[in-house]
A and B are shown apart, each in its own frame.
Chain A
Amino acid sequence: MTAQVSEKLIYGGKEISLFTNPLSLYLKNAGISFQSPHTANWRGYVGTWEILEHDGVERLYLVRLSAHKTYEEILSLSDVFPGHDKVFAHWFSGELRCPQGAQLEYRHMGYGSIYEYDLLMDFKQGILVHKHARHNEVPKEKDEKDYPEFLRRGPQ
């Protein structure tokens, strides 16, 4: 599977990559699916998210959407959520992962690539409850013996 184009998060005035798809539960519930325009975007959309603060509570909002109804026809946020210019992701409980810094290792799969840091934000029903950063290291090169026996190549 090809590495996937990330979602975007506006955080601290900057737009950063977001390696989580908070919209997926909404789409599943509403029975909506989009057309994949290419192999780096199997989900068929890219959402831009923003954390907005009100009375000391930070909430996650979807503020922009670019979704492929067909290969040519692209829907925006107001097409999917008529009458809304932002959408509170109250269904989202879990962790947002935002990669930061240099790419330490490219992985040709989903959001598998490893970066220097991950900014991790925990949400409960769309409300930010905790955030922290994780320092990643270059993964150790795997040797033949690190794999289970059934995955080894055997005599060459």
Chain B
Amino acid sequence: MSYLMEFLSSVSLFGLAWYELLAIYTVPGVSYALFHLLKEFRNRPSEFARGMLAAIGKKKSIIDHLINLSAYSIASLCIAFGWPLFGIWAIFQSRKEAALEIERNKPDFDCLPEYLIVKVNPVDAEIASYVVDPLGTVPSLPFGYLNQGWVNFLADMLDPNDEMWSFHIPKGSLCGKHRFAATSDMRGYAKVRNGEILGEFITEYD
């Protein structure tokens, strides 16, 4: 013990004693812990909620309060002294959350790279797309009634690296971001850039 005290007494930086250095070190952690304690305090159950909990027999006993107090004290001490680790953890967590957010915001296309068949020229696709209807109800436009979708799809192919591929998703295959099973065969065209699917135009589906 005396060795420890001797060692600590010898520690000095910028003329500050060990306990002053320790106090400076714990300032960020203590602030962080206080901030969260305050947040917890402000989010405590309201008078009404406490009354409801008491009514259903879930009123907190003295023991519960003591357990809570010791849990908060231990957590505050851990944060006060281990704040650099908590900081690293928070950075990792926020990066993970940001990556998840990007994944969530990605557009949901049914077509996946494994269903691409062949690179197609839009002119050839149009020539093959005219619909035969003996009753003459279908407009004589590429892809008939789906022409508006086709026009929108083409209008979106602006980058010189954009390629148009035909695709076929067999019935029952897993498709889309959430990998649902296709309820029928699905055919269409996909906009592909550097191997990534950035758009799709479905021509056949149920």
Contacts from A to B (Cβ < 8 Å): 20, 22, 24-26, 28-31, 52, 54-55, 57, 59, 61, 81, 84, 86-88, 90-95, 125
Chain A interface mostly helix, strand, loop or mixed?
A: mixed
In the complex, the answer to whether A93 meets B131 with C-beta atoms within 8 Å is no
- Given contacts A29-B148, A29-B201, A31-B148, whether A55 and B185 have CB atoms under 8 Å apart is no
Kindly specify which of B37-45, B85-93, B133-141 makes contact with the partner chain. Answer: B133-141
What is the CB-to-nearest-CB distance from B126 to chain A, in angstroms, rounded to a whole number? 15
Q: Which 8 pairs from chain A and chain B are nearest by CB?
A: A94-B206, A29-B149, A94-B184, A93-B204, A54-B134, A90-B131, A88-B133, A25-B205
Inter-chain contacts of B133 with A (CB < 8 A):
59, 88, 90
Complex Cα–Cα for A20 and B184 (A): 12
Whether a CB of chain A sits under 8 angstroms from the CB of B53 is: no
Whether a CB of chain A sits under 8 angstroms from the CB of B146 is: yes
Complex Cα–Cα for A18 and B48 (A): 52
In the complex, the answer to whether B205 meets A93 with C-beta atoms within 8 Å is yes
Inter-chain contacts of B138 with A (CB < 8 A):
88, 90
In the complex, the answer to whether B185 meets A94 with C-beta atoms within 8 Å is yes
Q: In the complex, which of the residues A24, A54, A93 has the most CB atoms of chain B within 10 Å of its own CB atom?
A: A93
What is the CB-to-nearest-CB distance from B42 to chain A, in angstroms, rounded to a whole number? 36
In the complex, the answer to whether A61 meets B137 with C-beta atoms within 8 Å is yes
In the complex, the answer to whether A93 meets B148 with C-beta atoms within 8 Å is no
In the complex, the answer to whether A91 meets B135 with C-beta atoms within 8 Å is no
For A52, give its contact among B131, B135, B144 (CB under 8 Å): B135
In the complex, the answer to whether B137 meets A30 with C-beta atoms within 8 Å is no
Q: What number of B residues sit within 8 Å (CB to CB) of A?
A: 24
For A91, give its contact among B145, B148, B183 (CB under 8 Å): B145
- Given contacts A30-B149, A54-B135, A86-B137, whether A91 and B204 have CB atoms under 8 Å apart is yes
Nearest B-chain residue to A30, judged by Cβ: B148
Q: Which of B153-206 contact A (CB under 8 A)?
A: 183-187, 201-206
Nearest B-chain residue to A123, judged by Cβ: B206
Complex Cα–Cα for A29 and B203 (A): 9
Complex Cα–Cα for A87 and B202 (A): 18
For A26, give its contact among B135, B146, B152, B183 (CB under 8 Å): B146
Q: In the complex, which of the residues B144, B187, B202 has the most CB atoms of chain A within 10 Å of its own CB atom?
A: B144
Inter-chain contacts of A93 with B (CB < 8 A):
184-187, 204-206
